Structure 1
């Protein structure tokens, strides 16, 4: 049998078939929550790796060289790149002790903070004392030396670490490992084992539970939940990353190119040469880490046609990729609108689509209804909604949404949102077109 995988995540998620990992996903204790958090970070590392190797398949044909490269080279690259800071730990699970770098801890506070890096020394050679360097830095008008800068940055970093503590700061280190820079005050404070120290006499602030209102968007939340609530659970709730096959490169690149053109028109740039458009499209391919394919010329032609068709409307551009919010009772609705046009009489909402016009657009209508709802409180003008099919000869299709439609669509959106808030995450009946292609199929159905 020839084994072939689209990504490391394809292989990684086969472990979800095992009962241990299914229990981790239930998160019945902080231990499982932490384990799930770490697995989710690992899935992000795998996803980024797949971009790094330009989405090459993993197969017997290439002797699984991609996997070998990951373990022998890529992990070393991550280590050198300080992966601990790339994948921030700010969203650590509740009831777990966060381990943070000093850099990651900026802006955060905790009742108890333990600093365990007092072996550190400034990256200098010289005999300047701590007091001398800082005093001279603050009081002197003379030029600051590089050594003084190093000392100042060193103590400023540890000031950040020490000031994260609300009630109790614990300085910890192997005794012989405390650097000369910290010895004077390390040995002058009470030890946790001394008779003078009693943890019960310290009033510790309660750790506040995260109680933020959930922000739900149509595309990443509502639509995904309706497609498969279990997939929503794993991607949005548990934060596992999925590998996106780049068969949809035409849609991704075209949207980015149209967005770029709209933003330039918003900045009053009006003339684009053929070379500019060609380079724009190819640069977006490069930035998205996608190899040039047979869609390049098609996308270039779509962008040229869009500029020609819309040249009279660009002066009405109000916002591009506009982020809008609507606050509901127990959650916040969010939408990112591709394009908003405004003239003296009306507002136009434009949502771009690739592919051919499809009359069965009930989902699209609900999305446009949400966008209209988001803008109604901001504008008194009449609001019209359009789908713009970039590959059609006559691309712009007005979607009429009356007040009854708005009420009906908002009810449906609210119902789905409430199901998400109520954590109704269930398996759908097996569907080959959905389940058979899903990376998480082993979690639901086991290895077939």
Structure 2
């Protein structure tokens, strides 16, 4: 399909500021892809001069894949482009300029749960600030977890709004303390990623100038969902070239609760002295005409004034018909009948052949944790209809999770706290009782399983030998009973493998408990303390706050299941049939105390009338929901007309009454055609060390590590390797910047790096190992001058498109000599290794030479392996063609991974003894 007039205009205008208003289904992603292709192929703009930001990781990967496909016949280097989410791009800016950051190398980014645990662990420090009790005086029911979350809500908002300057109120002092504590522990929360990148550029004119000279073209997708600090960052980077193109739809601005402001897209053109071109993509290629008409009527039912870009939403000629495609499907005053009607409709669609798979249908709600919605999901599953609802807060109620927790309770609670057949002396929640009851039922039906758990319990009732952390216990537990068969599962699809994905998530939760408890081994002295923390704080908090199940960015609509999604979760997606619920909702009303705090800290510029914001946000939210539908849009609810509580609520009432019931006859099922789910084209990336070699070593372990993300039991050896590599990177960056090496600074950097890694990984190294590592680093400085003095790039990421996948590699060091470019690959071990490992190392360097050759116009002459432990190196010459056999092997391995060939177990018994899954190999029982 060729570009329409507006799309072509957007593609070919690349100089100066431009705002692209892209309505739903208007071909926005295609326009962005073609714009980049036009810039690179027609205007000969270098890829490294372009920065492209998207809202989600899925969108970034889809964009990268489509651009790579379009430019596969040209000399396009994907790694040259700054492409990703704003957060990932900001992390790249921080990493490339870490010496100018308030952070140190090895810093850790706290994800949402990490941030809450961090805040909770420090809450006692905030209680010492004057005003703490008064701040929470009207929230006396808040426990410490709730208080931590309440403070974080405001801290995140302040960061996203770019709040600067000290405020002497309690909240102002608390915010300053929070930032101080994060930096003290070399940590960064998700909100601060952008502000730190902005600060680095703003306060260092040379870095900013260098970055501006490099980045000459900027494209920002979903601009309506950017926040204040993101806008400042984008305008700062683009202030020199002014070639800033932003794309979005103000009607779909739904992330105000995360700090996003619609002001950015509505006032974008006013930020420039020169003319800002505005292009509107108004042709909806996604939805039927009746759906587009309904969306237009919904958005136009509210008076917007100057707070919305005007749009004329239309459909292409082939969809210009008057068929009914928006209906309602509801019942009066009976939740049971509502569930039954929905189930019968879905079964009818499938049996009649209107849909080939239930994944062609998506349900959208404001929240999928609502009891009514969870009950509907359970009823549909009871009727044989699969439901994919990863954010319904069902993780801890899954059978496999409850059983594992039940075994943890049974094994770790000492005899004086026996649960079965005796008094309960531990203050245990109803949930834990349910876990134990489920385990007891399992015991009654499986005597062998009970005996194995009893044997495991004996090991922990009196610990007299090294027994490891909680994660070691976890892997012993999942080697018992039915878990053995579950781990052998070779089914395809997210839903079919939900148990395995959940067990992988649980391994992360348990590893996090190990790190937070800061204990390297369970002992007689600490087991009670660790057990108390694990059950009464760690698991309890996660259960109360909720843990999401696995979501695959490729398989967003798993086969065999309808999708239950939040409206926010559905952003950027489309489905053939969309059923929108939550018609009992109404615009949220902000509490007066929250308004007071907002006015005190955040400059309100009277952009949108305060009293109208709640209505604006509500209409945008449901407009986003309605516009996800391609072939059929259904509104559904349990109608209630008596009393004050009415469903549908007032905002929906007039538009709901105008649409026909699904069985009124106005919807002609005979002419209804339902599209299949479109697969998202995302090419997978594979590396030599993390994928190729790991699969060759053991396909079974690869499956559990890489596909289901089971956490490895981290060893001091791996930790040591990371520390040494980190220091080598520091030395080589200094060399590139022509900064003299100072031995004292080197020592300080080395030990600071150790402290940062120790906190994030929860692993300790003894004094001798630490000193030996520093000695090896110094020997490299003394003996490796001919290497690092010629360094030109450090930790260089490279990609090469290979058939249907990408080969990726991170090169430790690239040096330039007279003959051309060389790669240096550092190994922290000794050069005295077996032939197999040496061959793997040599092949890795040759493959990296190939990657470099494909990403540069300079000659690549080879590489060398530098063994840090004994200061030895091996030269690896490279000639074009050396990589052919390696690439053929790569093709074979990636094809096996794609085809789910993971049953083979190749580890030797010796290696198997060190593996987390040792009890699944060779019949070894290590309990």
- Kindly name which structure, 1 or 2, has the bigger radius of gyration based on alpha carbons: 2
* Alpha-carbon shift at residue 220 of structure 1 (Å): 1.2
**Per-residue Cα deviation, 1:307-355 (whole angstroms, up to 9, x for no partner):** 4545665464333222222333344322221111234531111111112
1:357 alignment counterpart:
831
The reply on whether 1:348 has 2:822 as its aligned counterpart is: yes
The reply on whether 1:8 has 2:480 as its aligned counterpart is: no
1:110 alignment counterpart:
575
2:749 alignment counterpart:
277
2:275 alignment counterpart:
none
* Alpha-carbon shift at residue 386 of structure 1 (Å): 1.2
Mapped contact 1:14–1:442 kept (Cα < 8 A): no
Mapped contact 1:17–1:443 kept (Cα < 8 A): no
Mapped contact 1:346–1:381 kept (Cα < 8 A): yes
Cα pair distance change 1:289/1:216, threshold 3 Å: closer
* Match for residue 42 of structure 1 among 506, 511, 514: 506
Helix, strand or coil for the counterpart of 1:355? coil
* Alpha-carbon shift at residue 370 of structure 1 (Å): 0.9
1:383 alignment counterpart:
861
**Per-residue Cα deviation, 1:175-224 (whole angstroms, up to 9, x for no partner):** 45655444443444444465544666543221134665443211111111
* Match for residue 850 of structure 2 among 357, 361, 373: 373
Q: Distance in 2 between matches of 1:422 and 1:264?
A: 45
Q: Distance in 2 between matches of 1:56 and 1:296?
A: 17
Equivalent pairs, count: 432
Q: Distance in 1 between matches of 2:500 and 2:763?
A: 33
* Match for residue 124 of structure 1 among 590, 593, 609: 590
* Match for residue 167 of structure 1 among 617, 631, 634: 631
Q: Distance in 1 between matches of 2:525 and 2:669?
A: 62
Q: Distance in 2 between matches of 1:396 and 1:436?
A: 31
**Per-residue Cα deviation, 1:253-311 (whole angstroms, up to 9, x for no partner):** 12123234434554565555625424542453255333553244444444444445456
* Match for residue 904 of structure 2 among 411, 427, 433: 427
Structure ranking higher on relative contact order (CA contacts 8 Å, 6+ apart): 1
Structure 2: give runs of 5+ residues left out of the alignment: 1-457, 461-466, 593-604, 640-645
2:537 alignment counterpart:
73
Cα pair distance change 1:166/1:381, threshold 3 Å: same
2:915 alignment counterpart:
438
* Alpha-carbon shift at residue 368 of structure 1 (Å): 0.8
Cα pair distance change 1:240/1:160, threshold 3 Å: farther
Helix, strand or coil for the counterpart of 2:693? helix
Range that drifts further, 173-182 or 255-264: 173-182
The reply on whether 1:337 has 2:811 as its aligned counterpart is: yes
Q: Distance in 2 between matches of 1:315 and 1:187?
A: 76
Q: Distance in 2 between matches of 1:346 and 1:287?
A: 41
Cα pair distance change 1:214/1:307, threshold 3 Å: same
Cα pair distance change 1:210/1:283, threshold 3 Å: same
Matches within 5 A, 1:25-424: 25-27=489-491, 31-54=495-518, 56-58=520-522, 62-63=526-527, 66-78=530-542, 83-84=547-548, 90-92=553-555, 94-95=558-559, 96-118=561-583, 119=585, 121-124=587-590, 143-175=607-639, 176=646, 178-192=648-662, 194-197=664-667, 201-209=671-679, 212-263=682-733, 265-266=735-736, 269-270=739-740, 272=742, 274-275=744-745, 276-278=748-750, 280-286=752-758, 288-294=760-766, 295-310=769-784, 314=788, 316-360=790-834, 361-377=838-854, 378-392=856-870, 394-401=871-878, 405-424=882-901
1:135 alignment counterpart:
none
Cα pair distance change 1:20/1:84, threshold 3 Å: closer
Q: Distance in 2 between matches of 1:59 and 1:170?
A: 59
Q: Distance in 1 between matches of 2:778 and 2:668?
A: 74
Cα pair distance change 1:28/1:398, threshold 3 Å: closer
* Alpha-carbon shift at residue 68 of structure 1 (Å): 4.7
Q: Distance in 1 between matches of 2:714 and 2:636?
A: 45
Cα pair distance change 1:71/1:123, threshold 3 Å: farther
Range that drifts further, 226-235 or 420-429: 420-429
Cα pair distance change 1:172/1:79, threshold 3 Å: farther
What value does the CA root-mean-square deviation take over the aligned residues?
Answer: 3.8
TM-score, length-scaled by structure 1 = 0.79
Mapped contact 1:121–1:179 kept (Cα < 8 A): no
Q: Distance in 2 between matches of 1:417 and 1:147?
A: 56
Mapped contact 1:115–1:161 kept (Cα < 8 A): yes
Cα pair distance change 1:405/1:198, threshold 3 Å: same
Cα pair distance change 1:249/1:40, threshold 3 Å: closer
Mapped contact 1:94–1:210 kept (Cα < 8 A): no
Mapped contact 1:277–1:300 kept (Cα < 8 A): no
Range that drifts further, 346-355 or 27-36: 27-36
Mapped contact 1:90–1:104 kept (Cα < 8 A): no
